Amino acid sequence: MPLHRRRLLTAGATAGLLGLAGCLDSLDDETESSNATQLRLTLVEAPTPLREGYVVEFGETRRPDDDDAFAAALAGESYTTQYRTPFGSRPDDPRYVRHEGTYYRLGSVVVDEAATTHPVLRLSEVADAESSDAPEAVQADSLSEADRGTVHVAHMAARARGNVGGAPWGLVQRGGFVYRDAERAAESRLVGDDAPSHVAYRGTVYELSVTREEFHEPVYRATAEPVAESPERLEAILRAQFVDARLSRESLSDEARSILLTARVDGYEESHPYSEAYRSVLTGLHARAYLDGNIEKDAYTDDLGTGRVLYGETYYDYRLRFV
């Protein structure tokens, strides 16, 4: 082959490869653009004023011991519970009550440990309910509402052991359902000598196993701490605890206010680099870590993306996530 022809073919191949590379780069750019991650902001209205979500009325809590626990705490007497805290209060979700013009924060302290025994029900899958060799089983639908709930929790624990779906760790304990309420255990058809050996639930037959096991539980003493003499003072206390950011309509542009309106209705999202209006909203939420568009590589992104904001006169729970 003549030298000049070889040079032409080589040049043509090189040009073709360069052209193909250019096309691939263009396709990569287009794909990257079409798959660009967007940062979505959603706003959900929270109780306004905040005290509406934290001040309780004992008659509406469906906890019959609340009145007795509060009266004992006011009198400086000891009122204790096991497993469940008095008033249902937690450090991250406190409860308050108003009594004779004063607001009290309800809570508890651990004062002891108690050993107690509870029945634990576990399920083990044995057969498909339609199988000809499935053992005789009671139908879950024929059980009481409480027992159906027990079977459902134990079913999720059994399912998790097979790595199919998760389980609500909190309801599920020790791989099954723990009867911490003695009255519920006494009324349950699934506990006792005459309990069925198998139950059919959601197309599967499970073998029932009930064991009595020892638990070591904290003993809680109810507390009631006076914190405020007026609704306004309590509101300030709650803001100090739970409001992460404050936005003023006057300090925001029309575009930023429009973003917040959309976030309240359908959620609002943009791809990085964000518009100046979106950047101002993120800055106002103290979510500056999102501004460089690189936060997905950072640790604990989910912890950064939620909070509560006071916008105007209304509180909102906000969430930032990538979609």
CA separation for the pair 54, 50 (Å, rounded): 7
What digits encode the pLDDT tens for the residues 240-266? 999 999 999 999 999 999 999 999 999
The model's confidence at residue 298, banded by pLDDT at 50, 70 and 90, is: low
What digits encode the pLDDT tens for the residues 201-210? 999 999 999 9
What digits encode the pLDDT tens for the residues 158-182? 988 877 667 787 789 999 999 999 9
Q: Answer yes or no: is pLDDT of 5 > 50.
A: no
The model's confidence at residue 303, banded by pLDDT at 50, 70 and 90, is: low
Least confident span in 164-173, 191-200, 303-312: 164-173
Please tell me the predicted confidence (pLDDT) of residue 146.
Answer: 96
Please tell me the predicted confidence (pLDDT) of residue 305.
Answer: 87
Q: What is the pTM of this model?
A: 0.73
Least confident span in 22-36, 63-77, 256-270, 307-321: 22-36
Average pLDDT of the segment spanning 77-84: 92
Average pLDDT of the segment spanning 289-296: 79
Least confident span in 136-145, 167-176, 270-279, 298-307: 298-307
The model's confidence at residue 295, banded by pLDDT at 50, 70 and 90, is: confident
Structure tokens at 282: 């993120």
Structure tokens at 136: 């005789």
Q: In what order do the strands lie in the sheet with 38-45?
A: 245-247, 306-311, 314-322, 38-45, 268-271
Average pLDDT of the segment spanning 123-130: 93
CA separation for the pair 235, 108 (Å, rounded): 22
For the chain, give the percent of residues with pLDDT over 90.
Answer: 71
Supply the mean pLDDT for the chain: 87
Average pLDDT of the segment spanning 55-64: 85
Q: What are phi and psi of 309, to 5 degrees?
A: -130, 145
Q: Answer yes or no: is pLDDT of 46 > 80.
A: yes
Residues found in the chain: 323
Burial code (b: 16+ CB inside 10 Å, e: under 16) for 10-25 equals eeeeeeeeeeeeeeee
The model's confidence at residue 51, banded by pLDDT at 50, 70 and 90, is: very high
Please tell me the predicted confidence (pLDDT) of residue 22.
Answer: 47
